[in-house]
Chain A
Amino acid sequence: MTWYLICAILAVGLWAVIALPNLIRKIVGLSMMNTAVILFFVYQGSLDSTSPPIVTDGSVDPSLVADPLPQALMLTAIVVGICIVAVALVIAYKLYERFQTLDVRELERMIWKAEPDEPK
Chain B
Amino acid sequence: MRKTDVVDVAARKLAPYMFLFGLYLVSYGDISPGGGFQGGVVVASGVILLAMAKGSRAVAAYFPLHSLSLAETVGFALILAAAIAGLLMGAGFLADIVAPTGALRSITNAPFAFVMNILIGLKVGAGVSLICLTLFGESGP
Contacts and interface: CB of A to CB of B under 8 A. Distances in A.
B137 to A, nearest CB: 12
Contacts of B66: none
A55 B33 contact: no
A58 B104 CA distance: 7
A54 B37 contact: no
Interface residues of B, number: 9
Nearest to A90: B135
B104 A57 contact: yes
Interface in B100-132: 104-105, 131
A64 to B, nearest CB: 17
Contacts of B4: none
Contacts of A57: 104
A1 interface: no
Interface string A44-58: 000000001011111
A75 B33 contact: no
A86 interface: yes
A54 B104 contact: no
Contacts of A54: 31-33
Interface in A66-120: 75, 79, 86, 89-90, 93
A79 B131 CA distance: 14
Contacts of B37: 75, 79
Contacts of A79: 37
Contacts of B32: 54
A93 B136 CA distance: 12
A54 B34 CA distance: 11
Contacts of A93: 135
B104 A55 contact: yes
B60 to A, nearest CB: 19
Contacts of B31: 54
Contacts of B105: 56
Interface string B37-73: 1100000000000000000000000000000000000
Given A55-B104, A56-B104, A56-B105, A86 B33 contact: no
B31 to A, nearest CB: 8
Interface of B: 31-33, 37-38, 104-105, 131, 135
